[in-house]
Amino acid sequence: MATAPDASNGETLRRVREGSGVLAAAAMRRLDEDLDWYRALPADDRSWVGLVAQAGITAFVTWFADPSRPPHGVGEIFATAPPELTRSISLQHTLQLVRVVVDVVESHSDRLAAPGGERDLLEAVLRYSREVAFSAAEVYARAAEVRGAWDARLEALVVDALLRGDVDDSLRSRVAALGWSGRGSTLVVVGTTASPLDDVRTSDLRRATRRAADDALVGIQGDRLVVFLGGTGDLREAAASLIPRFGPGPVVLGPTGADLADAARSARAALAGLAAISAWPQAPRPVLADDLLPERVLVGDASARALLVEQAYVPLLASTGSLLETLTAYLAAGRSLEAAARTLYVHPNTVRYRLRRVAEVTGWDPLDPREAYVLQQALAVGRLDHPGA
């Protein structure tokens, strides 16, 4: 416990008590002059910080009068302020606040202390400030631990709501409470973990995601790992930097979106891709969910089916130049240009030209084996959805 000189009947104590108002006013001026973060605070928060500074000075005077009592800690000094202030005032800011008050008292020590008592007063201030600094570190450490546990529970609820597609105003409020800015685009990455993540590995993963992108949310559901990324940078590059954090299995990237609603759809697409990826053993790591449309159709993903029809079958159905007929003949002939030409009674170069047009219209090249499979699935589901077309 800190000690101070006996000031019970001393002139110094009387002067310190009478000068506490002067000290508080001087401290407020110094805060405004020296601390940029203080000037940037909203008016309400600046007012609360002023009360905290005055409370600190009052607590010092009380302790100086009776050094046998333990000094007030930061928790008691901050008691007059709302709990939300700890989110605006960091531990570093608190220590700067203590330093300013110490400097103010030191600069006034010649006027406050009785003749010959300047050194004793200064030593008391320094000892008291040390106690307050230690107390601040403990308070902020406990607050960080509690806030971390609460944030982890809130994050789990938010991720679960996004996976269900429950995007409403309350969810947006919760996401904002977790620090999600909502600027830029969104992207979802899903995969698995090699083994259950302990607290240390989970914290390390969360730090890595927040370094990779402006916004990040992490959902750990058994051995399944879901990461929501957001921001103005290259989110695919950010996702690529996180791949080593996943287990050795497949990793699927959902479509890039513009907001939380798109992020929910992206997550569902990525999870459907993860469920279907075993049907494509040669899939790259990571793989885009939109590159798994045929496999997602096989596991009953209605959105993948709708995309195939919208992006491939409907444009071909509306096109001219016998593109749909030519693609059908080419696929039915085992992807043989000559066989398709014989079926259509045209030259093989005509078939080749029309297939290039198919690639331009749909974005998938029939001459590529994988993309030809995608188009074959698109024709099948398109005919099922448009019988008689």
With a cut of 90, say whether residue 186 has pLDDT above it.
yes
Q: 314 vs 149, which has greater pLDDT?
A: 314
Q: What is the pLDDT of residues 214-226, one digit of tens each?
A: 999 888 888 889 9
Q: What is the β-pairing status of strands 252-253 and 287-288?
A: parallel
Q: What is the pLDDT of residues 40-74, one digit of tens each?
A: 888 888 888 777 777 777 777 777 777 666 665 55
> Which pLDDT score, from 0 to 100, does residue 296 have?
96
Q: Count Cβ atoms within 10 A of the Cβ of residue 58 and give its class: 0-12 exposed, 13-18 middle, 19 or more buried.
A: middle
Lowest model confidence (mean pLDDT) among 116-130, 136-150, 219-233, 235-249: 136-150
With a cut of 90, say whether residue 118 has pLDDT above it.
no
What is the distance between the alpha carbons of residues 288 and 291, in angstroms, rounded to a whole number? 5
CATH number of 171-294: 3.30.70.2730
Q: How far is CA 144 from the centre of its chain?
A: 17
pTM of the shown model: 0.62
What is the distance between the alpha carbons of residues 236 and 187, in angstroms, rounded to a whole number? 8
User: Quick one: which of 69, 71, 55 has its CA closest to 20?
Assistant: 55
Q: What is the pLDDT of residues 362-377, one digit of tens each?
A: 999 999 999 999 999 9
- Class level of CATH domain 301-385: mainly alpha
Helix 20-34 vs helix 43-65: angle between axes, to the nearest 10 degrees?
140
Q: Where are the domains of the chain?
A: 11-146, 171-294, 301-385
What is the distance between the alpha carbons of residues 117 and 15, in angstroms, rounded to a whole number? 11
